[in-house]
Structure 1
Amino acid sequence: MNENVAFKSARLAALAGPCRFDNAEALAPFLTAIKTRHGASVLGVIFYGSCLRSGDIREGLVDFYVVVDDYRRAHDSRLSAAANRLVPPNVYYLEAADAAPNTGADKPSRLRCKYAVISEAELAYGCRDALTSGLWGRLAQPVAIVHARDTVIHERLRMHCGQAVVTLLEESLPVLHAPLAPAEVFARCLALSYGGELRAETDERTTRITAQYSAEYARRARDAIDLLDLAVHIDDRGLMRWQASAARRRQARRLWSARRPIGRLLSVARLSKACFTFGDAVDYGADKLARHTGVTIEVTPRLRRHPLIYGWPVLWRLYRQGVLK
């Protein structure tokens, strides 16, 4: 690695922050089970999402990206490896005994997680070059690297997460109007990213997320400025201003227009695949929908047994009603 590449890699890692979780030892049952399932292929585990933001891993479902070196080594079957390679990532459900259950409980409580298996090569591509925003939109937010094979892998994962910040800003700023406060820049960028997928979350939820960690999002926006291929600066009032050519703005608008249908198609493909890899996928989806939107759906035994047959009318109705966007 030459000196310039090493310097940029260090800058990107710093942009991602320390990537720590203060209660990482509580995740040990998950990490042990994941490494047992996927063996020596596991390079690292990235913790993200609502449980990381709240700090409470006992409420809701913990979200991980499990980064592997090779899909075939990571899976027992060639079919699973091929599915992961064709439409990454594969998503799995896992329960583990709570290492520190509530005292007085009749039986040990269970921790729950879902995790996505992705190769480091796909992670790097997804944070830097992917058209859709699924990876760079998520990993531009604060995450925790709760397992890494060694310190070199740990720093590489931080670098990929820092690259996600750069990609999110470079893809989003040309379609936004300056000036904006740095934290508001991130709120607008994340709203664009969420809009590129089939999701139940609203723009208001994005605003709440960024408001909760406004200082960290502002730091990310400021620290990324000289890594961007745009002319960006902070004015005397602390607001971010940027310039993009008319051609760059037109290209950015076209890309965001394309992301919306493509992202939704990929979301549907991944939902279909999750019916085979994710235990209780229908119940999980119904619970998440109710928590984020207040809309409840009836999970019938028929829907639970055959989601690929009876789930489509439900999804279409929710989409037509504007619940899924």
Structure 2
Amino acid sequence: MKDASISLASELAGALVGIGAGSIRSILLYGSHMLGANPDRHSAVDFVVIVDEYRAFYAALNEAGELHRPTWLLSFMAGFLPPNAIAFAPDDGRNGIAKCIIVSRFHLERALGPDPPDHFLLGRLVQKVGPVYSVTVEDAEWVEQQLASARHGVLEWMKPYLDGPIDAERLGRRMLEVCYGGEIRPESRQRANRIFESQAGHFREHFGLVLARGAERGVLVESIHHEADRTRALATYELARPASAASRRKWRRHFRKSKARATARWFKHMATFANWLPYVVRKVERHRGERIELTALERRLPLIFLWPRAIKVLLTRPPKELSR
């Protein structure tokens, strides 16, 4: 993570905590600024904001003039396909904007647990994230426990998608392919590879332990290729037995359901995320490397007239990541 990203994230987190009136427990940084995955000056800082109680948090932001949505609406939407996503742009965004995923401790624990409702948070938080703020040491420890537990559970839902020898890096790469396939996204088909390269060290550090524990539990066995070549830097394993048919069905159903929920969540974000249309346009421009000019009708009534363009964007994703 570059110094500029650290400084921007710290400033935005500090401003958010100051406005939050004691309702924020912890803030995590994730996404392109955390990974150094081609953020530019228009890229939002991605936060997961863990709160005590939704209404108190939204009321504090509204009182400070930073929410631009009714408190009752955001509080109500928090229980429908959680989490909510909001824009935090102090001083009208002149010094940066944060895309904030707002989640309670209860909803976070459920999302990272063994039976998550979808993969929206789980797929993001088993990747490299950075603690930006915690109100107490106990809060910081609780968050790390949730993240560690989520990482240790990766093998359970990845078993149906593993074939042949795996090491920590291969597990991380394959996991990103599966998670990116579980959402409809505008980025290039190589985005998962770019994101992997940005955090290969994270996977080597954490997924090696995941694999070792899998071997201890009998889920994995050390690969004969690794037994024959002890000079390999990363231990290599294979599944002790293929995933059962029931497990394959369960997790394929899960990812189909997760994709449906993620798509439905778009409509929710339109209600909770102020100025969502310019944000989406900038994001698509950044990943496609082309200028997008919306028509007057698309700007005025996007829910009706933007669909043909959105479908075209999704069907014509660039084959390669753009370099900057």
Q: TM-score, normalization: structure 1?
A: 0.79
Question: What SS does the corresponding residue of 1:39 show, helix, strand or coil?
Answer: coil
1:301 pairs with one of 285, 296, 302: 296
More moved, 289-298 vs 203-212: 289-298
Within a 5 Å distance, the mapping from 1:166-181 to structure 2 comes to 166-181=152-167
- 2 CA distance for matches of 1:39 and 1:227? 42
Match of 1:92 in 2: 86
Match of 1:48 in 2: 30
Question: What SS does the corresponding residue of 1:134 show, helix, strand or coil?
Answer: coil
Question: What SS does the corresponding residue of 2:100 show, helix, strand or coil?
Answer: strand
Aligned sequence identity (%)? 24
- Compute the displacement of 1:294 (Å): 4.4
- 2 CA distance for matches of 1:289 and 1:25? 25
Q: How many pairs are equivalent? A: 294
Aligned residues of 1:46 and 1:66 also touching (Cα < 8 A)? yes
- 2 CA distance for matches of 1:31 and 1:144? 12
- Compute the displacement of 1:197 (Å): 1.2
Match of 1:274 in 2: 269
Equivalent residue letter for 2:131:
I
Change (3 A) 1:57 1:299: closer
Equivalent residue letter for 1:127:
L
- 2 CA distance for matches of 1:78 and 1:46? 25
Within a 5 Å distance, the mapping from 1:181-196 to structure 2 comes to 181-196=167-182
Equivalent residue letter for 2:309:
V
- Compute the displacement of 1:191 (Å): 0.8
- Compute the displacement of 1:84 (Å): 0.9
- Compute the displacement of 1:131 (Å): 4.2
For residues 77-101 of structure 1, what are the alpha-carbon distances to aligned partners after superposition, in whole Å with 9 as ceiling and x for unaligned? 2331110111211111122469xxx
Aligned residues of 1:47 and 1:144 also touching (Cα < 8 A)? yes
- Compute the displacement of 1:149 (Å): 1.0
- 2 CA distance for matches of 1:91 and 1:209? 22
Question: What SS does the corresponding residue of 1:177 show, helix, strand or coil?
Answer: coil
Match of 1:11 in 2: none
Equivalent residue letter for 1:133:
H
Stretches of structure 2 that go unaligned for 5 or more consecutive residues are 60-70, 319-324
- 2 CA distance for matches of 1:148 and 1:69? 12
1:118 pairs with one of 94, 97, 103: 103
- Compute the displacement of 1:295 (Å): 6.3
Change (3 A) 1:46 1:182: same
Question: What SS does the corresponding residue of 2:220 show, helix, strand or coil?
Answer: strand
Change (3 A) 1:79 1:277: closer
Within a 5 Å distance, the mapping from 1:1-325 to structure 2 comes to 24=6, 26-54=8-36, 58=41, 60-76=43-59, 77-96=71-90, 110-128=95-113, 129-228=115-214, 231-234=219-222, 235-236=226-227, 237=229, 238-243=234-239, 245-246=241-242, 248-294=243-289, 297-319=292-314, 321=315, 323=317
More moved, 217-226 vs 22-31: 22-31
- Compute the displacement of 1:245 (Å): 4.3
Aligned residues of 1:170 and 1:230 also touching (Cα < 8 A)? no
Aligned residues of 1:137 and 1:168 also touching (Cα < 8 A)? no
Equivalent residue letter for 1:163:
S
Equivalent residue letter for 2:141:
E
For residues 140-165 of structure 1, what are the alpha-carbon distances to aligned partners after superposition, in whole Å with 9 as ceiling and x for unaligned? 11111101010010011111112222
- Compute the displacement of 1:239 (Å): 4.4
Change (3 A) 1:284 1:149: same
Aligned residues of 1:191 and 1:203 also touching (Cα < 8 A)? no
- 2 CA distance for matches of 1:195 and 1:179? 22
Stretches of structure 1 that go unaligned for 5 or more consecutive residues are 1-18, 99-107
